[in-house]
Structure 1
Amino acid sequence: MIRYPKPLQTGEIIGVTAPSSGVPNELHHILNEAIQQFEKRGFGVQVGETSWMQEKAASSSASKRAAELNCMLQDPKIAAIIPPWGGEILMEILPKIDWENVQPKWVLGYSDTSTLLFAITVMTGIATAHGTNIVDLRSDEWDPVTRKFMDVLSASDEKIVQHSSEKFQSSWNHSKNPNPYVFQLDTPTEWKTIDGAPIKISGRLLGGCIDTIQSLVGTPYGDVRSFREKYIKGENILWYFENCEMTATDFYRALLHMHYAGWFEQSNGIVFGRTPAGEEVEGFTIFDAMERLSKLTGLPIVYDADIGHVPPQMTLVNGAKAEIKVESGKAKLAMKFIR
């Protein structure tokens, strides 16, 4: 049975900690701006020391990052945790998390933060939210797709519906002032399927950034078989992934690794986010990788979805029951918090 955090309410406290990378000095202003936006909307914000630090590919030592995260996970006054952004080596804190005392509360983010989200849901059955980072919420207005994170985190048992974006951001520029959104939405969005046909798939959502969660295969933090048995017995998974930096062959090897480990058993489909990566290798493309995986597993595949490092992105809840419809380049995601 999946456990869902209680709905987030105005006036509650949001914890900001950096279990992977923190914010370097020259970008402290964007974190401050994001904090101010939540305070303007009536939330309290508790910011951990790690959020303001960065050295050697992490905010601080593994012990310090884990200790700060454990405090926030166990503090009943903190209703949700939103890290500044992702990073590189969150994986090294996983053995230091006090798994027995993790309290159901929303943890939101993507990139390397999804390593934590995935592990929490698989290890404890607590739902987590794959979506925006807090530094990308520093504008007075939030774009229509990004702002749905608040509907998701404040929902109870009602159905939450999200629609694909009209446009996405083609490149990053942290120095550009929001006008009116943080993201500069400049390129038409088109969700696609392998064969170009309309599709409808459903299942229990699970996934994240493939660059980092592929390393959880074969560890206690990626024990998908146990997760199925303990928390969603008799139900199938609807996978979602996004590729941050992998070449087409790196990407394919990661997918094969997951397949050989049995992750795609008892599954109904796979959704891949838009990617800035996927460089082809000797003519082998990321589309070739997805097409071969579909043939190998028999699973339907959707790609160029609003997930990951090419924003904006929908908020997908690990553990939630979901249905995704894709037709003519547009998509609709309906989620329900079914235990």
Structure 2
Amino acid sequence: MSGIQYPSLKEGAAIGVTAPSSGVEGNLHHLLERARERLNASGFQVRYGDTAWTQNKAKSAPAAKRAQEFNAMIQDAGVDLIIPPWGGELLIEMVEQVEWDNLPCKWVLGYSDLSVLLLAITLKTGIATAHGSNLVDLRGETLDETTAMWRSVLSAGAGTSVVQHSSRLYQKAWQFDHPNVFNLTEPTFWRTMMPDGAPAVGGQVRFQGRLLGGCIDVIRHLIGTPYGDVKRFTDAFIPGEQVLWYLENCELNTADVRRSLVQMKLAGWFENCSGLLFGRSPANRPVENYTIEDVFRDLAQELGLPVVYDIDCGHVPPQITFINGAYAEVEVDVEAGRGTVTQHFS
């Protein structure tokens, strides 16, 4: 039994919306209103903080105000979980002002820049956090099967398991007036690079471990800080267990992805690792013919581990809800390009 603490989403839960990274500009406030309408109609109560409605100089508010509102909201007994409106750029400014000794066991859900806060919470406290849809992604008239799983995953609770499957289709281009938010048009296909650096050509690939991860652009900046101490986390909360990393790239070219992964390796983040998952990316621009497949080949060979990529995670929706701290079993049908992630809240 690990030392991970798992929150559980209850019927009629109150969702607190605060913006520890970016808030929403005035001309997009209708997105917040639509999300509130949809979530209220689904039985939730949505409570907005002031920072959700403001945005200036690449942030919703100064770091002190963002931290104060987050601390107050997560400690409020009348708020059951936190879902920020979306990611942004400068969440890392407020991390040191989080009241780490007073964090209750509540879900925080999001991705992109929010993954800095999610990963830091789990690494420092052992409280599970949820990497998945942001609030504005939940405003659609209906949700696709992959996105809709956020509710089932967060409702599961300690001692249970939940299974998620790769999507059928993913979104290549945004259609901002789409009634269901995501414009899913392209067939999903998970790909696997084997430990010898060769692409998998058939059969099943399986591995398991404790999930940790997020947006590589931003979580790399936790390395060397008190908020990115992976070794302390593994020793304190999952002693003797392996880590299964899931990562996704928002804006980095392939050389920057490579530099970031080497830094993670040198920092010990990949010690006792069982495998790596990488989300589809809108970036991954080659540098002098150095492609993202080359990056994954180099990583797989260096670590002697399987690397599965083009999975449902990150900035090319839809995405699986990954729980930092959960024990996960990943299975990929190589020929079909289909994947299954089973998460155990143990």
TM-score range, shorter chain: over 0.9
The residue type equivalent to 2:311 in the other structure is A
Cα deviation, 1:219-263, whole Å, max 9, x if unaligned, reads 111000000011111100000000000000000000000000110
1:113-172 per-position Cα deviation (integer Å, ceiling 9, x unaligned) = 011000000010000000001101111211100000000111123210001000000012
Aligned AA for 2:28? L
2:285 is matched with 279
Q: 1:170-228 deviations in whole A, cap 9, x for unaligned?
A: 01233x131xx210100000000012243111000000000000000111110000000
CA distance in 1, matches of 2:240, 2:76: 34
Aligned mates of 1:201, 1:307 — CA distance in 2: 18
Q: Is 1:196 equivalent to 2:200 in the alignment? A: yes
3-state SS of 2:33 partner = helix
Q: Residue 175 of structure 2 contacts residue 181 of structure 2 at CA under 8 Å; is this kept in 1?
A: no
C-alpha separation between the residues in 1 aligned to 2:306 and 2:43? 43
* Deviant stretches of 4+, over 3 Å: none
Percent identity of equivalent pairs: 51
The 8 Å contact of residues 18 and 59 in structure 1, kept in 2 or not, is answered as: yes
What's the counterpart of residue 31 of structure 1?
Answer: 32
Residue number in structure 2 paired with 1:166 = 168
Q: Which amino acid aligns with 2:305?
A: L
Q: How does 1:154-303 map to 2 (within 5 A)?
A: 154-156=155-157, 157-174=159-176, 176-178=177-179, 181-194=180-193, 195-197=199-201, 198-303=204-309
SS in 2 for 1:254: helix
Aligned partner of 1:153 in structure 2 is 154
1:69 aligns with 2:77: no
Tell me which moved more, 192-201 or 277-286.
192-201
What is the match of residue 85 of structure 2?
84
Q: What is the TM-score of this pair, normalised by structure 2?
A: 0.95
- Mean Cα deviation higher: 17-26 or 151-160: 151-160
Q: Per the alignment, in what secondary structure is the counterpart of residue 317 of structure 2?
A: coil
TM-align CA RMSD: 0.8
Alignment correspondent of 2:100: 99
Aligned partners of 1:168 and 1:42: how far apart in 2?
A: 28
Q: In structure 2, what is the Cα distance between the partners aligned to 1:246 and 1:26?
A: 28
Does the CA-based 8 Å contact 1:10-1:41 persist in structure 2?
no
Q: Which residue of 2 aligns with 1:329?
A: 337
- In structure 1, runs of 5+ residues without a counterpart are none
8 A Cα contact 1:127 1:319, kept in partner: yes
Q: Which runs of 5+ in 2 are unaligned?
A: 194-198
Letter in 1 for 2:168: E
Question: Secondary structure of 1:78's partner?
Answer: coil
Q: Aligned residues, how many?
A: 334
Residue in 1 that maps onto 2:196: none
